[in-house]
């Protein structure tokens, strides 16, 4: 029986790969869209484009256009001004739903209690809004898998902060303190599971229309990696989606309490992990530390039609 996913996302080039993986192996009940990598108008348009590519009639719900409290910088320098590598893809014919993403999260989990796996691939603004409106939300969600954080302080936007958490730390605080148990796939694990450009581009060459789409939208980010002499692609959302789709691919994980720093002048947006159990609070996160790389890569190759 296929898993049924509810995906909150800010597409985003790596989000797009995670979504292709999801459509290849699972059913997708809805996409709720966050601002993050680029503005909400672009992330919604990109989600609609992707659903048309895979011929899915998945409802797409726009969520919050801004973080809860303080403004934040996007990641257009990585993903392109349009969030899809400025590849100039045609707009989708489909329209987004009228219902706000946060309200859709509440409604869909009430309609299908215990059935849905919630996957968070962007800033947590929509999840925080939904949780604030309905604190019983976690009881109706089978699994919550979050891509975010840097569990030993090696971030990718400030020294300790990873982008999704750092973009809206107050939202992350609401989710991390209000959700009893979730799975966390962080930036540091992402960095340990890079894929060489050579191997990735061999899949793009061998794949189907999905590979041709991904070749177009990832050209900018692959060039970005080459210019910086990076050994390969680091695909955070794809790694998180691998944990969702193939839970047994996780080879090492630790349960710990994780909190979000909101005020530090140097540390705002940091994921503070109680590794030694000092604060006496129950573990709220299963921190994924390592995956079987071959199984991770097999999911990506299959999603590009190159398996
Ligand atoms: O830090 C990586 C995360 O930030 C990924 O979700 C990427 O899409 C960006 O949103
Ligand atoms: Ca993302």
Q: What is the pLDDT of residue 303?
A: 98
Q: What is the pLDDT of residue 225?
A: 86
Q: Which pLDDT score, from 0 to 100, does residue 69 have?
A: 98
For residue range 11-69, what is the model confidence (pLDDT) as tens digits? 999 999 999 999 999 999 999 999 999 999 999 999 999 999 999 999 999 999 999 99
CATH number at residue 48: 3.90.245.10
pLDDT for residue 307 is more than 90: no
Q: Which two tokens stand for residue 290?
A: 């390592």
- Split at pLDDT 50, 70, 90, the class of 229 is confident
What residues pack around ion ligand 2 (CB closer than 5 A)?
10, 12, 15, 121-122, 237
Q: What's the chain's average pLDDT?
A: 97
Asked if the model's pLDDT at residue 261 lies above 90, the reply is yes
- Please give the torsion angle defined by the CA atoms of residues 49, 53, 57 and 60, in that order, rounded to the nearest 10 degrees: -30
Each residue's pLDDT tens digit, 65-108: 999 999 999 999 989 999 999 999 999 999 999 999 999 999 99
Q: For residue 273, report the distance from its CA to the centre of ligand 2, in Å.
A: 22
Q: Using the mean position of ligand 1's atoms as its centre, give its distance from the Cα of residue 14 in Å.
A: 7
What ligand 1 atom has the least distance to the C-alpha of 157? 1
Which amino acids bring their CB within 6 angstroms of ligand 1?
A: 10, 12, 14-15, 36-37, 75, 121-122, 147, 156, 162-164, 187, 236-237
Pocket residue to mutate for ligand 1, from 8, 12, 233, 271, most atoms within 8 A of Cβ:
12
Domain housing 165: 4-303
Exposed / middle / buried, residue 101 (Cβ in 10 Å: 0-12, 13-18, 19+): buried
In this prediction, residue 190 has a pLDDT band, given cuts at 50, 70 and 90, of very high
Nearest CA to ligand 1 atom 10: 122
Count of domains observed in the chain: 1
Q: Which residue has the higher pLDDT, 225 or 81?
A: 81
Q: Is the pLDDT of residue 231 over 80?
A: no
Q: Provide the pLDDT for residue 227.
A: 87
Q: Whose CA is nearest to atom 1 of ligand 1?
A: 163
Which ligand 1 atom sits nearest the alpha carbon of residue 14?
8
- The yes-or-no verdict on residue 230 having pLDDT over 90 is no
Q: So what's the pLDDT on residue 129?
A: 98
- In this prediction, residue 224 has a pLDDT band, given cuts at 50, 70 and 90, of confident
Task: Please give the Cα distance from 113 to 25 (Å, whole number).
Answer: 21
Work out which ligand 1 atom sits closest to the CA atom of 164: 4
CA of 34 to the centre of ligand 2 (A): 9
Q: What pLDDT is attached to residue 15?
A: 98
């Amino acid at each position: 029986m296929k898993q049924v996913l509810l995906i909150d996302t800010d597409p985003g080039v790596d989000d797009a790969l995670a979504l292709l993986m999801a459509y290849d192996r699972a059913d997708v009940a809805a996409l709720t869209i966050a601002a993050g990598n680029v503005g909400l108008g672009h992330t919604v348009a990109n989600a609609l484009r992707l659903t048309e590519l895979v011929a899915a009639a998945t409802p797409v719900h726009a969520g919050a256009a801004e973080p809860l409290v303080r403004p934040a910088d996007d990641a257009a320098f990585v993903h392109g001004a349009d969030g899809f590598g400025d590849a100039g893809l045609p707009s989708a014919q489909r329209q987004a739903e009228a219902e706000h993403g946060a309200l859709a999260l509440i409604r869909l989990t009430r309609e299908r209690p215990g059935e849905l796996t919630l996957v968070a691939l962007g800033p947590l603004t929509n999840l925080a809004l939904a949780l604030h409106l309905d604190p019983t939300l976690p009881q109706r969600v089978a699994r919550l898998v979050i891509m975010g954080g840097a569990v030993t302080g090696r971030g990718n936007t400030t020294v300790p902060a990873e982008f999704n958490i750092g973009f809206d730390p107050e939202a992350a605080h609401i989710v991390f303190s209000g959700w009893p148990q979730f799975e966390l796939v962080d930036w540091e694990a992402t960095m340990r599971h890079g894929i060489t450009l050579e191997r990735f581009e061999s899949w793009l060459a061998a794949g189907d229309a999905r590979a041709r789409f991904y070749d177009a939208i990832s050209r900018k980010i692959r060039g970005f990696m080459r210019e910086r002499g990076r050994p390969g692609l680091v695909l955070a959302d794809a790694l998180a989606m691998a944990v969702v789709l193939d839970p047994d691919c996780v080879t090492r994980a630790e349960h710990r309490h994780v909190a979000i720093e909101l005020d530090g002048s140097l540390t705002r947006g940091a994921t503070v992990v109680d590794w030694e159990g000092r604060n006496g609070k129950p573990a709220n996160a299963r921190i994924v530390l390592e995956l079987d790389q071959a199984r991770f890569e097999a999911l990506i190759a299959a999603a590009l039609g190159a398996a």
